[in-house]
Amino acid sequence: MDLKIELKKRADFFNKQLEKFLQGGSPETLYNAMRHLPLAGGKRLRPVLSMISCEAVNGDVVKVIPLSIACELAHNFTLVHDDIMDKSKMRRGLPSVHIKYGESTALIAGDLLFDKAFESMHKTTGDLNIFKNVEYGLIDCIREISEGQQLDMEFEKRKIVSEEEYFEMIRKKTAVFFQYAAEAGAILGGANSEQSNALSQYGLNLGLGFQVWDDYLDVSSNLETLGKDIGNDIRNGKKTLIACHCLKNAKGEDKKILDKIFGNLYANDEQVKNIYNLFRKTGSAEYAKDKAINFANNAKKALNILPDSDAKQLLASLADYSINRNK
């Protein structure tokens, strides 16, 4: 079983459903702006996760289509608004929505994506109590993502952020959505509570592992391929796990350099490289790597109580992939 092929198979199926759902609408400019990002591709991790989670409890994948579309649209709504806030010019290889359509239309397009997520959710069939619970989960999830986004911004302005605070932030900003997609997919697939809890824990740990591995990747890449992002993150004082660890553990001269350059918008490339090297010297990069591996292992452990199946194996492979990928 090849993970990439299996993921792609589901993403392709999902994309067809998504395209169908997003057809039409007037005024056209607004609807084109609304479709721009969701139809620009992407890994579709959240919807695919909800599908595999449903399969893992022997559920009918057709039942999670409305949920899977809702997850992707809600995710895209947060990206469209994030890009406005961060003034990001590109996303998925295309101009971001506010660059192409202007900030006002992008803002409304984001709101409309939020709204369409709930419109999709309402296509859920079956027991109404289950529908209501699953929909409430999405409401709760978006609340936590909003809180996480605010924390992320506030942390940039703070000198020190504890590891505990960092994990709370990425849990809210990133991991709860993986947790929700996996758990809700299982519930709509007919999971018992032991199974849905297991998949909830799987999703949470997968999400945390993905995010921490992203932090690690940025710093472990070759100096030559050092992207603009990591430079910006250092200049903005972005509190990744690696930064939090380094800020806590750097001593003496290292600490002085860190205090001077980290979060300094006017730092030059040479200074940024020094911080980058410091992240490795203090063992902060390795520390993050170990944490990510730990999360992936916890994700796999959570799967133990599930019956053996291709889907279960796929979820385990996805956890492995989360800490073996190099982009």
Collapsed DSSP state (helix, strand, coil) of residue 222: coil
Nearest-CA neighbor of 191 among 207, 203, 173, 205? Answer: 203
Contacts (CB under 8 A) with a second copy, residues 121-150: 122, 128-129, 131-132, 135-136, 139-140, 142-143, 146-147, 149-150
- Judged by beta carbon, residue 40 or residue 130, the one nearer a second copy is 130
Counted residue by residue, the chain has a size of 327
Give the residue, chosen from 115, 194, 259, 290, that forms a contact with a second copy under the rule CB under 8 A.
115
- For residue 90, the cross-strand partners are 95
At its nearest, how many Å lie between a second copy and the CB of residue 73? 12
At its nearest, how many Å lie between a second copy and the CB of residue 155? 10
Residue 95 has φ and ψ, to the nearest 5°, of -60, 140
Contacts (CB under 8 A) with a second copy, residues 19-78: 25-27, 29-30, 77
Sequential DSSP letters for 142-205: HHHHHHHHHHHHHHHH-S---HHHHHHHHIIIIIHHHHHHHHHHHHHTT--HHHHHHHHHHHHH
- Judged by beta carbon, residue 131 or residue 177, the one nearer a second copy is 131
- Judged by beta carbon, residue 88 or residue 297, the one nearer a second copy is 88
Which tokens sit at 173? 């900003």
Nearest-CA neighbor of 206 among 69, 76, 45, 66? Answer: 45
Contacts (CB under 8 A) with a second copy, residues 73-112: 77, 81, 84-85, 103-105, 107-108, 110-112
Residues that bind a second copy (CB under 8 A): 25-27, 29-30, 77, 81, 84-85, 103-105, 107-108, 110-112, 114-116, 118-119, 122, 128-129, 131-132, 135-136, 139-140, 142-143, 146-147, 149-151, 153-154
